[in-house]
């Protein structure tokens, strides 16, 4: 058994839910309308004194959404997915690759006794 006065098995905030009176009053909020190019509509809320961003990521499709329903922002250009091999080929020439392969095969043959 350990000494001390730590309460085991509890964490901060694990007690009963605090009411608004205990937490304090919530800040006044405003809801802002955003539309993406797929026609999705979202209404996040912001504090009344917060700066409202021009763009917001659509929670349904991930495209950027804007404040103007008639002219939503266009989709960002995504870089194509690169495989591990593509990254390796950027760093090494074909000759380097063949040398590394030969070295690995030599070590493997030595282990197997050939």
Cα pseudo-dihedral 93, 97, 99, 103, rounded to 10: 160
The answer to whether 61 is annotated as binding is yes
Calpha distance 85→91 (Å, rounded): 10
The answer to whether 40 is annotated as binding is yes
Calpha distance 32→69 (Å, rounded): 12
Q: Which backbone phi and psi does 102 adopt, to 5 degrees?
A: -60, -40
Residue with tokens 């939503």: 72
Question: Which tokens sit at 86?
Answer: 């593509």
Across-strand partners of 45? 31
Could you list the residues known to form a binding site, using ranges. 36, 40, 58, 61
Could you list the residues known to form a binding site for Zn(2+), using ranges. 36, 40, 58, 61
């Amino acid at each position: 058994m350990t000494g001390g006065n730590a309460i085991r098995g509890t964490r901060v905030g694990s007690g009963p839910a605090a009411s608004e009176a205990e937490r304090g009053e919530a800040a006044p909020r405003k809801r802002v309308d955003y539309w993406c190019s797929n026609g999705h509509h979202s209404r996040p809320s912001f504090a009344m004194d917060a700066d409202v961003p021009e763009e917001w990521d659509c929670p349904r499709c991930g495209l950027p959404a804007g404040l103007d329903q008639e002219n939503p922002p266009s989709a960002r250009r995504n870089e194509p997915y690169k495989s591990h091999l593509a990254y390796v080929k950027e760093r090494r020439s074909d000759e380097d690759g063949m040398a590394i392969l030969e070295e690995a095969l030599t070590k493997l043959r030595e282990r197997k006794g050939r």
